[in-house]
Structure 1
């Protein structure tokens, strides 16, 4: 039987910030899993300029009931003026979904 979980993605300008955010969310039991990867190359438009930066991606997995509080916690610790926050509901296998929903 499938289970529903939430997945969210954001980026940070450096690894230390991404790791600190991950640890904070795990310690507060708001997410079951936080994965930091990078560096990645990001290309984007900001104030009518095309920019390229090195960033660190943070992927979070958590219970659907926690989305608002997880988002607020991430935004409090974020250094960007307009931080990325993309999340969606995902189907997963029963054992993994039960673990995510129990832990975060």
Structure 2
């Protein structure tokens, strides 16, 4: 298991269109904020918003970055995200192959 300075994280968010997902992925990779962004979808999300039960089609971005870069990623996602209140979740990776972990860190620091 890596120490905190060598840790990687996975962030997740969702958007309404593939165009938004692809534009966000290009920006995050281009700015070296993310090492990899995977886009899944369409998915169906069910949730309560503004007092109403909602259902919508979305695309999920799974974003790999370093722990050191996480604050910058979180801030950038909040700024470029098209939603008023975006889902921005982060999960610490407890363990990963040494080579992949180092690749993520090298791409994002």
TM-score by length of structure 1 reads: 0.95
Alignment partner of 1:93 is 2:97: yes
The Cα RMSD (Å) is 0.9
- Structure 2 gap ranges (5+): none
Q: TM-score, normalised by structure 2?
A: 0.90
> How far 1:72 moved relative to its partner?
1.1
**Number of equivalences:** 103
Greater strand share, 1 or 2?
1
Partner of 1:18: 21
Runs of 4+ in 1 over 2 A off after TM superposition: none
**2:56 is the counterpart of 1:59:** no
Residues 19-77 of structure 1: CA distance to partner in whole angstroms, max 9, x if unpaired?
A: 10000010111110011111100000001111000000000000100111111111111
